[in-house]
Amino acid sequence: MIAIHVDKVRSIQSNFFNEIEEQREIAITKLKKLNKKTTNLKDKTYLEEVILLFDSNPDILLWDSIKINNEKDKFRSLPTYPKTSKTGKVTLCKTEIKDKILTALGYRNLRSSFYPMYFKEIGIKSCVYCNSQLTISAKRSSVTNDYSAKFDVDHYHSKSEYPFLSICLFNLYPACSSCNRIKSDNVVEFELYTNNRIKAIKSDYKFKLTAYSKAKYLITKDPKDIGFTFDEPTPSNITTKTINDVFHIEGIYQTQTDLIEELIIKSQIYNKSYLKTLKYNFDKLSIQPELFKRTLVGNYTGDKDLHKRPMSKLVSDIAKDLGLI
């Protein structure tokens, strides 16, 4: 729910330069092998354009969001074939070349080998869309029956439409498995990577208690009386959707009112005098103010740290609303 400055990402990418270049070289080798086996003319033409794209652009995996936007629509559409249903309805279906390109580029393998290291260095652990879950999911091997961690990544520009962008790093948005599935081919008005320093410091999204929620809860002690709103920017055009439209943020967080309940209780216990005493004791331990706030509310409290832990946005916003931090 907050952007990351491109300069920070570039710095991390420079640390992985050799690995990223190796990914491109392996992709080219596998694409060329696939080309030798491909006989369908339309598939072969599309595939050869993808090979040329990777061959002539050494920095393709490092294209930023602006470059990706400029280049993606210059590319020809995926090859299709007509399919007739039992009722006689004809639909156009993508040929198998899409899936073969995805396999050649190795996105699935990178989920468990490279992306966990890469995004750990960037500092993303929670879903960039909902911030309610981790971006790691467990997957069981059909061979060994063991479980391993897989990094869930959404392709901002869908890999089903743009398979050649499937391993372009600025097209990858770490997401929980639920949001990744729901997102599908929807176009969401959210920019994870930005050149705007303000957007990387302050989130454009906010949770806020509804009027009289705190007072009503303190009378009834019923969590059902706790209400909140989720505010976000209005989409810039009619083809894009808000985060709440796609991921049902308010619905997800309606199940987490116990977190808000705990913060309301803390706001009653930790009055100004008590907070002053706590801060004094923490100062004697030479603990940084941000760590004091995190200890107090049980989560990260700065917008720039939202990606580090699930539920940090809700906890941070409500804690500020209650005057806790």
Tokens found for residue 218? 């303190």
Nearest to 194 by CA among 4, 53, 67: 4
* Band of residue 189 on the pLDDT scale cut at 50, 70, 90: confident
Angstrom distance (rounded) from CA 135 to CA 169 = 16
Contact at 8 Å (CB) between 296 and 258?
A: no
Q: How many CB atoms lie within 10 A of CB 192?
A: 22
Look at residue 325 and tell me whether its pLDDT is greater than 90: no
Would the pLDDT of 150 be above 90?
Answer: no
Q: Is the pTM of this model over 0.75?
A: yes
Span 27-40, pLDDT tens digits: 999 999 999 999 99
CA torsion, ordered 287, 293, 297, 301, to nearest 10 deg: -130
**What is the token pair recorded at 75?**
């590319």
| Tens-place pLDDT, residues 282-306 | 888 887 888 888 988 999 999 999 9
